[in-house]
Amino acid sequence: MRKQIAAANWKMNCTLTQAEELLSKLAAAEINVTENRISVIAVPAPYLILAQQQLVHKANVFVAAQNCYSKKSGAYTGETSVEMLQSIGTAYVLIGHSERREYFHETNSLLADKVNIALEYNITPIFCCGEALDIREANTQNEFVGRQLEESLFHLTAEQLQKVVIAYEPIWAIGTGKTASSEQAQEMHAYIRSALAAKYGSSVADSISILYGGSVKGSNAAELFAQPDVDGGLVGGASLNAEEFTAIINALK
């Protein structure tokens, strides 16, 4: 069975004191996780080591970085390399979040390089894709997301692709309180899986976790996660509240 994943994305939030408080609540929370039902917490870079220390005793809970650079090392002031992430034991990294694409002009081809280097260092990329409102209104979301997958992932071998997690996050639903309906989420997830199957075959496509992101909350998580092709969520705002995020983890199927 493919992994079901509740991933938190703290984005650029929390002071050290707030991060410590949230981590200690998560460390104490009663969460129902197993090897196939996991949680991943993407914290700001300054708190990666702290998060790993605080959550080390929590089985099936992993820490993620929110970004990495595409080069191994060198004169790239302000960037974080995957070699650094690997050296501190980071297991996952978000790649291509829509905020990175929009505010930092990250292109599909740069993201392909980031996916490659993460895999090279055995860090699982959580590759984000998703369309803006105008694309949804023009009903061209499948073509748009298809192109994101093609240009950033489809150069991978099947073996490499099976190490990637995909997160579908419609931009119009991020931080807006406007969740895609569970039917809209299922429809796009099924489309993504069919695109993976067309390129890599259905057994590879069936093994890949596809998360939904965009205003996931404790109150809507179970309905979204119950969809056959929705394998969990990538959660922004609601992940800053330990009780709310605990409810989301426990809504995984």
Q: Which residues bind ligand PGA (CB under 6 A)?
A: 9, 169, 174-175, 213-216, 234-238
User: Given the complex with ligand PGA, which of 152 and 179 has the nearer CB atom?
Assistant: 179
Nearer to ligand PGA, 160 or 184 (CB): 184
Residue nearest to ligand PGA (CB): 236
Closest approach of ligand PGA to the CB of residue 111, in Å: 16
* Nearest to ligand PGA of 205, 236 (CB atom): 236
Q: What distance in Å separates the CA atoms of residue 32 and residue 248, rounded to the nearest whole number?
A: 10
Does the annotation mark 97 as catalytic? yes
Query: What is the torsional sign of CA 67, 92, 131, 174?
Result: negative
* Torsion angle of the four alpha carbons 194, 199, 202, 207, in this order, in degrees rounded to the nearest 10: -90
Place of tokens 């209104």: 137
CB of 107 to ligand PGA, least distance (A): 19
Q: How far from 29 is each of 25, 33, 235, 241, 243, CA to CA, in Å?
A: 6, 11, 17, 12, 8
Q: Which of 97, 106, 131, 189 is catalytic?
A: 97
- CA dist 53 → 9, 24, 41 (Å): 18, 11, 13
Alpha helix (H) residue ranges in 62-161:
82-87, 98-103, 108-120, 133-137, 141-152, 158-161
| Nearest residue (CB) to ligand PGA, 7 versus 208 | 7
- Least Å distance between CB 197 and ligand PGA? 25
- Catalytic residue (one of 99, 106, 131, 169): 169
Whether 208 and 161 have beta carbons less than 8 Å apart is answered as yes
Give min distance, CB of 69 to ligand PGA, in A.
20
Catalytic residue set: 97, 169
